[in-house]
């Protein structure tokens, strides 16, 4: 087999120097690096995990170290020469760079955070042959910055990768330690403000935005570019970049899947595209997922497989959040998505910042964002993770169970389908809610039904409606359309549910399709807390 060494896919490559020297494929993002480096000073960027933040930070590092040879043929090569010519200054100036990476530690106690920061401080002293410092981490940080400035005569560049990793690891697990970490980091980052005269540039990245709860309250010169239109595709791969840089990989994937070029592009878009980080920004693909798909020549769930924090599922459950709204029905203002608060009463900001929800639309008149799942990888992966919290299914049973539901519906086995649904809902843990909160308890059962039908949408066309005047659930197979209506036992019988389908004309829009139309009416037994009886009828 012949290998094309010019088509090396950079999965997991976070070093810009390594990427360029070893001839990996690269989507040129150096325009953004140049613009940030020369038109501002202290920045913060929030993006989901595995979205290319570390590689972008490494790109900035190479630029500020003056590593001109790494930028041959890229946007920044000519831009830097032109800048120097216009400003009549030296091009490719080398600055002292302090690079702080929080990715490499398990944060189990206060010492873990102090240890990794002190290790970085020690390394910087060795790299730049500085006098050994002592004292608190903030005092050492301040001393190193001023010493570097005095020694080199040049301002210092500070790059922080995943500043919030310690906070994310303790969130929902150890809130007391989380608070300690916040206080420690607040004091540490405040040095960037107090040493402003010695700093050429600072760039901090993370998943979450803690500025509203004091992490950056002392660093009030920080420019947050997370929701700025001009930087919406600073990380990720936009549609034109995908086609320009990866045409051979797209064709290879199409050949493997026995589809044409346009068909596989459509599949890639549905599976991995759809992230939007600004009102009028550019949609981007998840870079980790799309590169993994090219490497494996398969449309897998790569990003989702790298881990979903359990606390997100718990937040939704504890808040009795109406789960169907997550799929395009969330409306929130900018303060809402910009805010971080580790609070089960408000799980939406962290869902947005961590990439499980994205901007679907900006309603300018109301100054409101509509959020939803970005794509099928996230939609089905996240909903599958929710199922065990709302049913008797265990995590490893969910996928196979959904497939059994799908096989039942394809075979027309409605009794088998309903018996299976009855069983998993009967196992929903009992909520100790007072009678006046029964609607919240009922919502858990409705969520279980919703999740099963929605996950079946990977294999058959499904429609789930929560508003009155439309059937609860509709499933389309090759030959048949199934219309489901669920009623509380106190509100009506299965026969009443079928009568409602007829009277409300739920099936009228489907008659022209020439398929069999089957109506399923079901009652919900409040005492047994599961599906009661059901009846079927043909239209």
Q: Give 12-38 as a 3 state SS string.
A: CCCCHHHHHHCCECCCCCHHHHHHHHH
Distance separating alpha carbons of residues 269 and 375, to the nearest angstrom = 8
Looking at the fold, whether 342 and 261 belong to one and the same domain comes out as no
Q: What token pair was written down for 74?
A: 């890229």
pLDDT of residue 170: 87
Looking at the fold, whether 28 and 136 belong to one and the same domain comes out as yes
pLDDT of residue 214: 61
Looking at the fold, whether 93 and 221 belong to one and the same domain comes out as yes
Backbone angles phi, psi at 77, to 5 degrees: -60, -55
Looking at the fold, whether 258 and 196 belong to one and the same domain comes out as no
Distance separating alpha carbons of residues 463 and 485, to the nearest angstrom = 12
Looking at the fold, whether 300 and 320 belong to one and the same domain comes out as no
Query: H-helix or E-strand containing 199?
Result: strand 199-206
What is this structure's pTM? 0.91
Looking at the fold, whether 222 and 127 belong to one and the same domain comes out as yes
Q: Please identify every stretch of the chain with a pLDDT value under 70, giving residue numbers as ranges.
A: 1-3, 5-6, 210-214, 306-309, 339-345, 427-442, 466-469
Q: What token pair was written down for 524?
A: 């919900």
**Does residue 3 sit within a domain?**
no
**Does residue 411 sit within a domain?**
yes
Domain count, the chain: 4
Looking at the fold, whether 359 and 455 belong to one and the same domain comes out as no
Looking at the fold, whether 408 and 425 belong to one and the same domain comes out as yes
Axis crossing angle, helix 110-127 with helix 137-152, rounded to the nearest 10: 10
Burial class (CB in 10 A: 0-12, 13-18, 19+), 460: middle
Looking at the fold, whether 89 and 174 belong to one and the same domain comes out as yes
Q: What token pair was written down for 121?
A: 């401080």
Do 201 and 41 contact (CB within 8 A), yes or no? yes
Distance separating alpha carbons of residues 279 and 231, to the nearest angstrom = 11
Query: Which residue among 195, 226, 257 closes a domain?
Result: 226
Looking at the fold, whether 201 and 162 belong to one and the same domain comes out as yes
pLDDT of residue 496: 94
**Does residue 194 sit within a domain?**
yes
Looking at the fold, whether 194 and 91 belong to one and the same domain comes out as yes
**Does residue 232 sit within a domain?**
no
**Does residue 385 sit within a domain?**
no
Looking at the fold, whether 47 and 61 belong to one and the same domain comes out as yes
pLDDT of residue 344: 45
Query: Which residue among 201, 226, 251 closes a domain?
Result: 226
**Does residue 9 sit within a domain?**
no
Do 530 and 500 contact (CB within 8 A), yes or no? no
Axis crossing angle, helix 75-87 with helix 30-39, rounded to the nearest 10: 20
**Does residue 2 sit within a domain?**
no
410-447 pLDDT tens trace: 999 999 999 999 998 886 665 665 666 656 666 777 88
pLDDT of residue 154: 98
**Does residue 8 sit within a domain?**
no
Query: Which residue among 163, 194, 226 closes a domain?
Result: 226
Closest alpha carbon to 80 in 58, 55, 60:
60
Q: Which domain holds residue 259?
A: 237-305
Distance separating alpha carbons of residues 390 and 444, to the nearest angstrom = 6
- For residue 493, the domain's CATH number is 3.40.1350
Strand 473-476 versus strand 461-464 pairing type: antiparallel
- For residue 197, the domain's CATH number is 3.40.50
Q: How far is CA 378 from CA 53, 273, 304, 414, in A?
A: 19, 10, 7, 29
End-to-end Cα spacing for the chain: 59
pLDDT of residue 437: 62
63-78 b/e (C-beta count within 10 Å ≥ 16 → b): bbbeeeebbeebbbbe
Backbone angles phi, psi at 46, to 5 degrees: -105, 125
Do 225 and 33 contact (CB within 8 A), yes or no? no
Burial class (CB in 10 A: 0-12, 13-18, 19+), 508: exposed
């Amino acid at each position: 087999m012949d290998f094309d060494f010019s088509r090396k896919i950079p999965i997991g490559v976070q070093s810009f120097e390594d990427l360029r020297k070893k001839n990996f494929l690269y989507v040129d993002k150096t325009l953004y690096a140049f613009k940030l480096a020369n038109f501002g000073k202290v920045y913060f960027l929030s993006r989901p995990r595995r979205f290319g933040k570390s590689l972008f930070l490494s790109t900035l590092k190479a630029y500020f170290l003056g590593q001109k040879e790494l930028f041959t043929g890229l946007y920044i090569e000519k831009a830097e020469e032109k800048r120097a010519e216009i400003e009549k200054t030296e091009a490719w100036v080398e600055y002292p760079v302090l690079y702080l990476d929080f990715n490499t530690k398990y944060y189990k106690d206060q010492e873990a955070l102090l240890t990794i920061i002190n290790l970085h401080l020690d390394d910087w002293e060795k790299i730049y042959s500085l006098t050994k410092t002592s004292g608190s981490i903030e005092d050492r940080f301040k001393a190193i910055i001023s010493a570097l400035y005095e020694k080199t005569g040049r301002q210092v560049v500070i790059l922080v990768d995943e500043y919030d990793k310690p906070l994310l690891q303790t969130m929902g697990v150890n809130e007391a330690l989380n608070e300690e970490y916040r206080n420690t980091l607040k004091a540490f980052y405040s040095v960037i403000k107090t040493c402003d005269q010695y700093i050429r540039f600072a760039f901090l990245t993370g998943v979450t935005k803690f500025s509203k709860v004091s992490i950056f309250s002392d660093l009030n010169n920080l420019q947050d570019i997370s929701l700025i239109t001009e930087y919406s595709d600073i990380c990720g791969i936009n549609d034109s970049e995908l086609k320009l840089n990866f045409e051979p990989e797209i064709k290879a994937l199409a050949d493997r899947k026995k589809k044409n070029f346009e068909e596989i592009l459509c599949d890639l878009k549905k599976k991995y595209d759809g992230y939007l980080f600004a009102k009028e920004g550019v949609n981007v693909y998840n870079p980790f997922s799309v590169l993994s798909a090219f490497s494996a020549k398969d449309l897998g769930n790569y990003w989702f497989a790298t881990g979903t924090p359990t606390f997100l599922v718990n937040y939704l459950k504890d808040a009795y959040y109406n789960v169907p709204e997550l799929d395009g029905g969330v409306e929130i203002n900018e303060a809402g998505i910009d805010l971080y608060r580790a609070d089960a009463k408000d799980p939406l900001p962290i869902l947005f910042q961590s990439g499980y929800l994205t901007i679907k639309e900006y309603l300018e008149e109301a100054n409101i964002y509509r959020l939803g799942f970005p794509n099928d990888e996230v939609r089905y992966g996240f909903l599958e993770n929710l199922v065990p919290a709302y049913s008797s299914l265990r995590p490893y049973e969910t996928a196979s169970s959904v497939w059994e539901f799908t096989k039942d519906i394809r075979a027309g086995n409605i009794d088998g389908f309903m018996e299976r649904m009855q069983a998993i809902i009967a196992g929903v843990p009992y909520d100790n809610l007072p009678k006046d909160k029964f609607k919240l308890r009922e919502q858990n059962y409705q969520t279980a039904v919703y999740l099963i039908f929605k996950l079946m949408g990977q294999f058959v066309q499904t429609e789930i409606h929560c508003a009155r005047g439309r059937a609860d659930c509709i499933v389309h197979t090759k030959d048949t359309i199934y219309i489901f209506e669920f009623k509380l036992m106190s509100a009506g019988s299965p026969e009443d549910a079928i009568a409602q389908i007829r009277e409300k004309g739920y099936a009228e829009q489907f008659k022209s399709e020439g398929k069999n139309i089957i109506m399923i009416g079901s009652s919900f037994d409040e005492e047994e807390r599961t599906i009661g009886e059901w009846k079927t009828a043909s239209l």
